[in-house]
Structure 1
């Protein structure tokens, strides 16, 4: 993924490389790859950063994309590997409710998420230092409003880091 950490310098693009593991969580892994192929994450704001815990994104620039993907939920995969540092999982609001929002665990203490059903499907193989310096927003994002407005909504937070493009290697 090509990431712009500081939006005031859009030409300064950094990289976070991931390896997707279908054997860990086949449904989640395939959904993520489908979202990458659909360019769903391109120009996507990283709206939730909690130092020492996670960074999260998955509300697309174009709200029509959310209707197609984010509202189209997939079933849960069993947790086969722990949510330790560098692992990526889908965010969820309950059983069988994974859509398009994903997060990277910053710390091994995120293993507490295992018992809540968050099943990792990928891991950061390069660029964890980039993931850990993403902009931390001090306001609460209204996800419902962001899903309806896309990046128009995120203009309220011009300093948010964002994914310039995400593609398979």
Structure 2
């Protein structure tokens, strides 16, 4: 069975590049992105990945995004237990119904348990949502859900799905570090929640690797998704981890 792996990359297209994300880093940085536009690269990766994993043919719910369609409550809270402490996110469905529903279903599946905070950039944002199991990433490759028009602004503490263009949201999420990220609003990034406890924990996530490769010293997202946590553990061991997620 062929595995199609997403190529969640920071620099997917010129239209996703935004400039001046912090005064300390005047060079351009990319908007939080997941890949829908690197299809040819992902297809090449598929043949290189392990296509014979028996888990892909199983009936485990995490391998079936088409079943993850439960509507979320109008408001709910999620606790992220991380290597630096607890973070509580309050989700408001009216802000982004699609985002709230997807996040709710992913948390119920345990998708984010063991996920690394793989892209943490000072003064910009911290991003997560690449599963440590490459087979799971493959299962969610085409699990896009429609865009929501932004109702709230991408200010400090707001939580938003990453994307690579219209209607390409899947599993990756970012937490804004700065109010000036409001410029992402016009690009269609729709916040669905906000950090209500533990923002100091969010601030403390390891940022030493900086931006993703090739722009920075951080992980190569293609290898991260193809090889899973073994790649991160070997090359980027300082990255923080979401140990578990809990619906409160």
Deviations 1:13-47 (A, max 9, x none): x1000101110000011001111011110010101
**Alignment of 1:16 onto 2:94:** no
Gaps of 5+ in 1: 6-13
TM-score by length of 2: 0.63
User: Residue 67 of structure 1: SS of its match in structure 2?
Assistant: helix
Please state whether the residue corresponding to 1:19 is helix, strand or coil: strand
| TM-score computed with the length of structure 1 as normaliser | 0.92
The correspondence for 2:237, drawn from 129, 153, 158, is: 158
Once the two structures are TM-superposed, the CA of residue 71 in structure 1 deviates from its matched residue by 3.6
How much has 1:157 moved relative to structure 2? Answer: 0.6
CA RMSD of aligned residues (A): 1.0
Can you give the 5+ residue segments of structure 2 that lack an aligned partner in the other structure?
1-79, 210-216
Q: Is the 8 A contact 2:114 2:131 kept in 1?
A: yes
Q: Are residue 36 (structure 1) and residue 115 (structure 2) matched? A: no
SS of the aligned residue for 2:219 comes to coil
1:96 corresponds to 2:174: no
Name the SS for the 1:81 alignment partner: coil
User: What residue in structure 2 maps to residue 118 of structure 1?
Assistant: 189
Cα displacement (A) at 1:70: 4.6
Q: Distance in 1 between matches of 2:204 and 2:129?
A: 18
- Structure 1 residues 70 and 36: CA distance shift in structure 2, 3 A: farther
Question: How much has 1:67 moved relative to structure 2?
Answer: 1.9
8 Å CA contact 2:87, 2:202 repeated in 1: yes
Q: Is the 8 A contact 1:47 1:137 kept in 2?
A: no
- Is 1:168 equivalent to 2:239 in the alignment? no
**CA deviation string 1:112-164 (max 9, x = no partner):** 10001000001000000000010014213211221122211211111100100
Number of positions where the alignment pairs a residue of Structure 1 with one of Structure 2 = 161
Equivalent residue number for residue 61 of structure 1: 132
User: Which of these residues, 209, 212, 220, is aligned with residue 142 of structure 1?
Assistant: 220
In 2, distance between residues paired with 1:85 and 1:100? 21
Other-structure match for 1:26: 97
**Which structure is richer in relative contact order (CA contacts within 8 A, separation 6 or more)?**
1
Match of 1:66, SS?
helix
**2:132–2:225: 8 Å Cα contact kept in structure 1?**
no
Q: 1:46·1:160 contact (CA, 8 Å) conserved in 2?
A: yes
Q: Does 1:127 align with 2:206?
A: no
Please identify the structure whose Cα radius of gyration is greater. Answer: 2
Q: 1:60-94: per-residue Cα shift (whole Å, max 9, x none)?
A: 11122212235411111111110111100011111
